[in-house]
Structure 1
Amino acid sequence: MDETDIHFPATAGETYHLFLTGPGFYMLQIHDAAYAIDGRKKLHLRGYTTPLYFHVSAEVRSFTLTMRSGVPGETAVATLFDPQNRSVAALRTVEQPIDQQTINCRGDSNGYWKLVVDKADQGALDDVYVEFGPELTGYCSLEPGKLLLVQPAEVRPARATGMDPFARKLLGVPEPQFTVWREGAALGLIEVAPVHLPVTPPGDCNHYGWPVATMAKDTLLVMHRRIPGHRRDGAGEPSDKMSYGVVLRSTDGGRQWSQPYDLRNCMTPEDRVRGGIVPLSHRAKFDPTNKSPLGYKVHLHAIGTTRDGNVIAVNNHGVFRSDDTGRTWKHFPEALRDDTFAHPIINIGPRIVDDPQHGLFVFGNWFGEVDEYHKYSKQLVALRSRDGGKTWQTEEHPVGFKQYEPAVLHHNHQYLFVTRDQNQVRSHRQMTWLPGRKPLVTQTNLEDPRLVDTVDLSFNPETGRLEIVRSERHRMQLWLWSIDPKNWATGQWRRECRLLDREGSFYEDADGFHPAGAVVDAKRGLQHVFIYVGHPNGPAGVFRITRSLNTPKLADFLNTQTP
């Protein structure tokens, strides 16, 4: 065994990071300093264990703790103690490979908790994994006399201090654009800030994209993909780190975010890799030799809040629900699965709507099968659930064109859509619909030379107008448009102002934006728009654009600043 000392000049009160890479095993002896280990992804325990000390803050009401092992040969048991050293939970991976529990905190839960992992009554204590839920920082200490409290840094908005170089690189905007944002932030009109960037991505999965969001009881929730790339050529390889449902939550309007939570963590191992590590609808892109029809028959993703405050998410891994504003999640294993959903794969729009008469609605179009990638129909397909997301029925109507990712708004007792026309991918069309009836399709003035993107559609309570946030990918810009509801039938929208102007060419050296699934916070007079920006092969990250609902004032400012 080789030993070496690590010496470096240190300043009292500062924090230092030590990274160990490469194969092999390491033993560290840290003298006269508090320390913590990074368990934000998971901790891998092999052969020997030691108590794990982790901090739970006062505002955490519950958190998720997961232990995994390769049963039956590799097993473990664990006991969880609260700050008063009371035993509050027991975990066991002997009969089952995963034990995931939601720990409810008491009023005196603030402080360090202790998890003691030990050998089970059968099997060997080896290859045990411990995962901390997104409510926690993910850092833990090994010695009670050297506890180090690690807290997430506050996300810095684009004010005078600017963003860090990595965020600036992903955004790819020229300096005059940052100047406009800084001045707009000072006026309370617009703010741009990172949400989740691939600073330390898992393997090749450094493309964080296609964010959609909702708000539940003043908590913002964002769901996005984490994959090797948008463009297959030149992207990394697929792996078990790929996820089409990474969720973050914020309780302070998007300034600070929880640790990301992979929704696959609440799935059984069998459902998680049903048919392969690449979900069914994306095998043609990332695993073309895999023709297995097994999996969840969903392409893209949607999120929404029910009338009673629960959050529903649908993505390539199926249907998920949270009853506590995203702190913990449940997977409906049979919903939209190949053996229960006797239909083609459905590509879906970004929004889930809870209709008081009809239940949950998700809207989309047929997408083909695993061996028929991008085989669109010319239908509007409505998925409906009357039991909170557990089971789904379909209703479909002809619309005469290959519509894609419809952005929906339930307004004045009818459903309004702005959807991509995939016939030539150069325009958006409107649809107006009532359950049980054929949609009315309207041509619009929302046309581009090429490469139309999915929009966000909302009603602005301050202006009384319908608004869309729409990217123009042919010049890598993001624009705000509006229309008076009484003129909806005309399809003639008014271009209000430009929110973002990025350098580069789409799908060559630049990627973005998918502004769909934005959140209107009427109480605070704001809209939170979530986009992804970066390179089509990665890296790409998720950003927040928060703008005032006073659209005339915002437009006056931006239009005088924009050359």
Structure 2
Amino acid sequence: MKMPQNTRRDFIKTAAFLAATPLFPPLFAQSAGTAAAKPPSPAQQLGLTPRWRNYMASLKGKGLLGILPVLAAPEGDISHLGFPVATQLSDGRAVVVFHRAEGGHILAGRLTERPMPSGRYAITSDDLLAWHPADPFTARNRLGPPDGMHCVGAALKADGKERVVALATGVPKQVYVSDDRGETWRAVDGALAGKLDGAAHCGPRLIQHPEFGLVAALGQQKNPSARRNWLVRSLDAGETWEQRVWVNTAHARSVEPAVATWGDGHMVMISREYVQDFALNEEGYYCHTQHVYRHTKGAPFSEVSFTTARTNIAGNPAFGFDCHDTADVSYNPVTKRIECLHSHRRGGGEGRTGKTDDKNPANRVNTLNLWSISPDELLAGSSTWRFECTLVERQGYSRNSERDGMHPGGTIIDLKRKQQHIFIYAGWRRKPCSIFRLSRTLDTPALADAWRKARLA
């Protein structure tokens, strides 16, 4: 597949970004009475393994895979810039919603005495290189508190104009809309009143279903015996919402479900799994859960129900549900397959998953992996996905060094550039985290072939 001309500068910039930074970040600490240390650079927060830096450099000019920083954690304090999710408008503008949590991931929302601008924010770009506002934290255009997950999408209003819609599932659960391409936002008060009781943590995607309108998926974490999942949908660009609640067909407790649609309106969700007995496969690996809905034209939203199954998208069982971060799932219009981005916190892709808590820092990796499945096989009941390749390999992920990332959900399928734009965060749980854009070709076989030839399995 020939690389579009307007993507070449991305991959040139990627090579320069990686070459300009040292390999290993200092694990910075501030002793009493000493000056504050300068935070590690974005590339140090990203922390690619040496072999992955070499691999990315070898791809220069091939138009297969590139990565660039989007927004760096501000200097002078500890800022977790996390959970970036994105949508693209019809004119090409990208809108990314993320949160800034003072004190880091684990402490989000708990440091109320600190006068720092924690919250949820949005940035926009017309070329995926220059982002506005450059300093969103001084724009004072917050989308509520930083706790909870969020998703973002776009829909047409009754007047035919495009609107950006964001759903935040902290406390309280809230809908925000923007009628000026993501520049300013307003809360739709009461939009979710009386809904989502017991639901927690929406998935990272707000999709446009051909019949149901805007659709978001939610799971639940609070009740260990519950097996419920939620969908909410809006037919009026975010002003009003309807919910659908159903019970899983298996004893699964799924959270952060990423949802995708294709064809006449079929849907699939990929979620983290909190029931260990369900998640562990015959080989002892901890796997993601899938939920599949076969749509019939004209079927009402009130009757939507999914079939639940364990996939073979596997993680390191030594860490239970914490081995996975939030996934992403989408339909690739080039390969015509359903693809899943699997964030493995404690190991590699297929063949390098691991089953133990390896104490060797050189073997502690955090990876982003690509899997796929035929839509026909999925609708026929298959839960066996094909491992394609690893996209990112980071070094030294452990509780000791508090590495955090990547949460790749809410990606953009860019048909003009023939790319998927994946927004991730990377850094530490109680230290700075920055946001990055990973762009990869939609020609998955070409990308997988380059990965195999590099002997990175």
When the two structures are superposed, what TM-score results if normalisation uses the length of structure 1? 0.61
The equivalent of 2:14 in structure 1 is: 158
Corresponding residue to 2:165 among 303, 312, 326: 312
Shift of 1:363: 1.0
> How has the CA–CA distance of structure 1 residues 486 and 355 changed in structure 2, closer, same or farther, with 3 Å as cutoff?
closer
> How has the CA–CA distance of structure 1 residues 355 and 462 changed in structure 2, closer, same or farther, with 3 Å as cutoff?
closer
Asked if the contact 2:261/2:330 (under 8 Å) is kept, the reply is no
Shift of 1:539: 0.9
The equivalent of 1:362 in structure 2 is: 216
> How has the CA–CA distance of structure 1 residues 480 and 163 changed in structure 2, closer, same or farther, with 3 Å as cutoff?
farther
Corresponding residue to 1:226 among 100, 112, 119: 100
The equivalent of 1:241 in structure 2 is: 116
Shift of 1:193: 0.6
Asked if the contact 1:156/1:163 (under 8 Å) is kept, the reply is no
Shift of 1:175: 3.1
Once residues 196 and 324 of structure 2 are traced to their aligned partners in structure 1, the CA distance between those partners, rounded to angstroms, is: 31
Shift of 1:547: 0.6
Asked if the contact 1:514/1:531 (under 8 Å) is kept, the reply is yes
Once residues 438 and 395 of structure 1 are traced to their aligned partners in structure 2, the CA distance between those partners, rounded to angstroms, is: 9
Once residues 342 and 301 of structure 1 are traced to their aligned partners in structure 2, the CA distance between those partners, rounded to angstroms, is: 14
Superposed CA RMSD: 2.8
Asked if the contact 1:231/1:507 (under 8 Å) is kept, the reply is no
SS at match of 2:204: strand
Structure 1 stretches lacking a partner, 5+ long:
1-153, 273-277, 283-298, 369-373
Identity %: 29
Report Cα offsets for 1:109-140 as digits up to 9, x if no partner.
xxxxxxxxxxxxxxxxxxxxxxxxxxxxxxxx
1:386 equivalenced with 2:235 (yes/no): yes
Once residues 257 and 409 of structure 2 are traced to their aligned partners in structure 1, the CA distance between those partners, rounded to angstroms, is: 10
The equivalent of 1:484 in structure 2 is: 374
Shift of 1:540: 0.9
Amino acid at match of 1:211: P
Amino acid at match of 2:198: P
Shift of 1:473: 0.9
Report Cα offsets for 1:487-536 as digits up to 9, x if no partner.
21211111111111111134432111111111110121101011111111
Shift of 1:163: 4.4
The equivalent of 1:193 in structure 2 is: 68
1:495 equivalenced with 2:370 (yes/no): no
SS at match of 2:342: strand
SS at match of 2:313: coil
1:472 equivalenced with 2:341 (yes/no): no
> How has the CA–CA distance of structure 1 residues 562 and 472 changed in structure 2, closer, same or farther, with 3 Å as cutoff?
farther
> How has the CA–CA distance of structure 1 residues 336 and 242 changed in structure 2, closer, same or farther, with 3 Å as cutoff?
farther
Corresponding residue to 1:423 among 275, 283, 286: 275
SS at match of 2:416: coil
1:353 equivalenced with 2:207 (yes/no): yes
Asked if the contact 1:191/1:545 (under 8 Å) is kept, the reply is yes
The equivalent of 2:189 in structure 1 is: 333
Amino acid at match of 2:259: V
Once residues 195 and 535 of structure 1 are traced to their aligned partners in structure 2, the CA distance between those partners, rounded to angstroms, is: 17
Corresponding residue to 1:343 among 197, 208, 232: 197
Report Cα offsets for 1:68-103 as digits up to 9, x if no partner.
xxxxxxxxxxxxxxxxxxxxxxxxxxxxxxxxxxxx
Corresponding residue to 1:414 among 266, 269, 280: 266
Asked if the contact 1:197/1:542 (under 8 Å) is kept, the reply is yes
Amino acid at match of 1:384: R
Shift of 1:240: 5.0
1:402 equivalenced with 2:253 (yes/no): yes
Report Cα offsets for 1:407-453 as digits up to 9, x if no partner.
11111221111111111373211111253133111221112123212
Larger radius of gyration: 1
> How has the CA–CA distance of structure 1 residues 562 and 515 changed in structure 2, closer, same or farther, with 3 Å as cutoff?
farther
SS at match of 2:177: strand
1:537 equivalenced with 2:410 (yes/no): no
Corresponding residue to 1:553 among 446, 449, 452: 446
Once residues 478 and 334 of structure 1 are traced to their aligned partners in structure 2, the CA distance between those partners, rounded to angstroms, is: 37
1:324 equivalenced with 2:184 (yes/no): no
The equivalent of 1:460 in structure 2 is: 332
Q: Kindly report which structure 2 residues correspond to 1:105-184, keeping only aligned pairs within 5 A, or say none.
A: 157-160=13-16, 162-164=19-21, 166-184=41-59
1:214 equivalenced with 2:69 (yes/no): no
**Relative contact order higher in (CA < 8 Å, ≥ 6 apart):** 2
> Which structure shows the bigger proportion of residues in helix conformation?
2
Amino acid at match of 1:457: V
Asked if the contact 1:366/1:376 (under 8 Å) is kept, the reply is no
Once residues 253 and 386 of structure 2 are traced to their aligned partners in structure 1, the CA distance between those partners, rounded to angstroms, is: 25
The equivalent of 1:505 in structure 2 is: 397
SS at match of 1:186: coil
Report the number of matched residues. Answer: 373
Once residues 519 and 198 of structure 1 are traced to their aligned partners in structure 2, the CA distance between those partners, rounded to angstroms, is: 23
Asked if the contact 1:527/1:548 (under 8 Å) is kept, the reply is yes
Once residues 226 and 42 of structure 2 are traced to their aligned partners in structure 1, the CA distance between those partners, rounded to angstroms, is: 39
Asked if the contact 1:159/1:186 (under 8 Å) is kept, the reply is no
The equivalent of 1:37 in structure 2 is: none
Amino acid at match of 1:492: T
The equivalent of 1:78 in structure 2 is: none
When the two structures are superposed, what TM-score results if normalisation uses the length of structure 2? 0.74
The equivalent of 1:519 in structure 2 is: 412
